[in-house]
Amino acid sequence: MGPRQQVYIVRDKGLGFGGTLVSDLQEFKSKVMGTKIGTDWTLVLSIHGSEERLGAQAPPDMQKNAIFYGASDIEKLFNGDKDFVKWRDQYGPTFLSLVSCQVSASFEGTLIANVTRAPAGNKRQPKRGLGAGCKPIASAFKLPDAPKTRAEFAKLTKGKQDAIRKQLKTLNDTWGYYGAPPVTDDQVVHFYYDEDPKGEWVTVEVMVGTGHTVRELKKTGIPYWNRTTGDRAAEFRQQCDQGVGTLKRERAPAVPDVPE
């Protein structure tokens, strides 16, 4: 089974788990174009964000050499590059997990339209957004009973393998993988061992608040991947406005937002 996911973290390595660290979206574009996956695959893009823009920046000095991207910048960088468009339409990701704080639904839609290709016979994924004060926080889990490597897993008895698969299925059914929808049951072991960060299962949860650290944020228990369609969708909309009409709203910066 080949790669089904690629993880890119922009400048701030504290934003994600595993994957490729890039300095900005220009470097991301250059590197991702080296990916030649003809089948459906997911792009996980972790970057600082705030409603209508993204930011390539990192602590301790968040403003030092920071590069910000609005919708027009995204259009110019991706759709404005004929070589990228040619690559995207043949090899590009078919799903984008944008792990970025507070983005509006319309701005997320801009990223989806610029970076992804439609899966065979289907439309691109819907835009969902988050809105002010809402953040997708990633966590990585190591199963206590699972060996560190795929080779060690293969040596376990069928009963022990099935027990681990059951635990992975529970995580997968609830959280999906790295902010994307659940993978098929026959792929859970592959994603646990062979996709970044390898040997961990990554969940992404919607959290709310204006704090500067995860400890200051409120956990909602709402999975990021189906925040607008799952059984917690109504609760999500009560806490997150999805960026509708937020441009006039004052906001307090909170990690991992883009400071003004």
Residues 199-238 have pLDDT tens digits of 999 999 999 998 767 888 999 999 999 999 999 999 999 9
What is the reported pLDDT for 255? 37
| Average pLDDT across the chain, whole number | 91
Structural domain includes residue 152: no
Please write the tens of the pLDDT for every residue from 10-24. Answer: 999 999 999 999 999
- Domain of 20 in residue numbering reads as 5-138+211-239
**pLDDT for the residue numbered 207:** 96
CA distances from 128 to 106, 109, 110, 173, 227 (A): 8, 8, 11, 20, 8
Each residue's pLDDT tens digit, 50-100: 999 999 999 999 999 999 999 999 999 999 999 999 999 999 999 999 999
Assigned domain for 192 exists: no
The amino acid occupying position 232 is: R
Secondary structure of the chain in the HEC alphabet? CCCCEEEEEECCHHHCCCCEEECCHHHHHHHHCCCCCCCCCEEEEECEEECCEEEECCCCCCCCCCEEECHHHHHHHHHCCHHHHHHHHHHCCCEEEEECCCCCHHHHHHHHHHHCCCCCCCCCCCCCCCCCCEEEEEEEECCCCCCCCHHHHHCCCHHHHHHHHHHHHHHHHHHCECCECCCCHHHHHHHHHHCCCCCCEEEEEEEECCCCCHHHCEEEEEECCCCCCCCCHHHHHHHCCCCCCCCCCCCCCCCCCCCC
Between β-strands 134-141 and 201-208, what pairing exists: parallel, antiparallel or unpaired? antiparallel
What is the rounded distance in angstroms from the CA atom of residue 234 to the CA atom of residue 219?
A: 16
Q: How confident is the model at residue 152 (pLDDT cuts 50, 70, 90)?
A: very high
User: Exposed (0-12), middle (13-18) or buried (19+): which is 212, by Cβ within 10 Å?
Assistant: middle
Is there a domain that residue 225 lies in?
yes
- Is 144 a domain residue? no
CA distance 33 to 147: 34
pLDDT at 133 (0 to 100)? 93
Q: Select the more confidently predicted residue: 122 or 152.
A: 152
What pLDDT is attached to residue 163? 98
**What is the tens place of the pLDDT at every residue in 38-51?**
999 999 999 999 99
Q: Is residue 92 part of a domain?
A: yes
Determine the average pLDDT of the residues in 102-108. 96
Residue 205 lies in a domain: no
Residue 11 maps to a domain:
yes
Residue 171 lies in a domain: no
**What is the arithmetic mean of pLDDT over 103-109?**
96
What's the structural domain count of the chain? 1
